[in-house]
Structure 1
Amino acid sequence: MSVKIGYIVGSISSTSINRAVFEALKLNAPEGVEINEIEIKDLPLYSPDYDAEYPQVALDFKAAIAGSDAVIVSTPQYNDSFSGSVKNAIDWASRPWGQHSFNSKPTAVATASIAPHGGNKAGGFLAAVLEFGEAKVMENQINVFVNENVFAADGNFATEELKSEAREFMAAVAANAGL
């Protein structure tokens, strides 16, 4: 049996540390897990004006969530909250009214920050917004403090402690996805 996990990288920066964490988490996923990025960088700013006729990029975004057995939403911590690009993506996922893509979807939160807290404050706010949309937000959360020593040359996490935390997190996501 295999499961599909969608992964939203909440930073659209070309040098995103959240993307680096995503790549390292993939390396620590259990067997039978397929992880695919759900792109958000091309989503326009959400407006109800689109509700009558969603642009194809938004339809594709919603379909990618629907086609995933579980979703991980990763975010940097900006100004003590989560990124605007993630909020915009959630707004697209939640519309038109009554068609929330995260409804009943097992969803996990990952954060990455250059601050020692690893973005845990942003993770809490993100979880609350996802729960509002009836996502089944997992208690398991990973918050990565990114410094010059966090990644190995192969892109994996450098320490056994962080690899172990990543394996535990990914195993929990896979279990919630039905593996």
Structure 2
Amino acid sequence: MPLKVAVLVGSLRANSLNRKAAELLVRTGPKVLGLEVVEIGDLPLYNEDLEENAPREWQEFRERIKASDAILFVTPEYNRSVPAALKNAVDVGSRPYGANVWNGKPGGVISVSPGAIGGFGANHHLRQMFVSTCWSCSNLKPIWAAQANFLIKVAGWQMRGPANFSLVSSRLMPSG
């Protein structure tokens, strides 16, 4: 049975390089990974005051993450950090205190950018969040896809360079 991997795309744009890379992974990734995009664009902003009667979107999101074996983030960099929608998803999943849905799940980060450093700031910032949300991130190695507009061919959307499937698989598969 494939490892069930929730894929969270940081960009909400329909034609973003990150969404296209995530869709490519879902469509043509290795059979050992059951990759499925979990949408984050409709999550209401996290507000602890709403926890007593949590929004349906939060509840459904938390259940989907709980049901996953691993998490893969595919994100652009906005102002040397992650997009607001992705930060909100991390917050929704890590609350309320004691009910963190990320806890113990292996995770991976791919940052896709047309820039020269491949979204390094977003990748690094998201990995910092891993530490405070108790994710299983020992041995986590990031993947940067710099100048992704040149790495991803429009015809067939073939991934080349550092963002390849064996690398993605190795980051998500449990060790041992």
TM value normalised by structure 1: 0.88
Q: Give the SS at the match of 2:45.
A: coil
Aligned to 2:115: 115
RMSD: 1.9
Aligned to 1:88: 88
For the pair 1:155 / 2:148, whether they are aligned, the reply is no
**Alpha-carbon distance in 2 for matches of 1:30, 1:77:** 26
Cα distance, 1:150 vs structure 2: 2.0
Q: Alpha carbons of 1:104 and 1:39: their partners in 2 closer, same or farther (altered >3 Å)?
A: same
Extract unaligned runs of 5+ from structure 1.
none
Q: Give the SS at the match of 1:18.
A: helix
Say how many residue pairs are matched: 174
**Alpha-carbon distance in 1 for matches of 2:143, 2:58:** 27
Which of 153, 165, 175 matches 2:173? 175
Q: Alpha carbons of 1:107 and 1:134: their partners in 2 closer, same or farther (altered >3 Å)?
A: same
Of structures 1 and 2, the one scoring higher in RCO (CA 8 A, sep 6+) is 1
Cα distance, 1:15 vs structure 2: 2.1
Q: String of CA shifts for 1:34-81, please: whole Å, max 9, x gaps.
A: 111111010011111111111111111111111111001122111111
- What aligned pairs does 1:68-147 form with structure 2 within 5 A after superposition? 68-137=68-137, 138-147=139-148
Q: Alpha carbons of 1:177 and 1:18: their partners in 2 closer, same or farther (altered >3 Å)?
A: farther
**Alpha-carbon distance in 1 for matches of 2:121, 2:166:** 21
Amino acid across the alignment from 1:74: V
**Alpha-carbon distance in 2 for matches of 1:67, 1:170:** 20
Q: Percent identity?
A: 29
TM value normalised by structure 2: 0.90
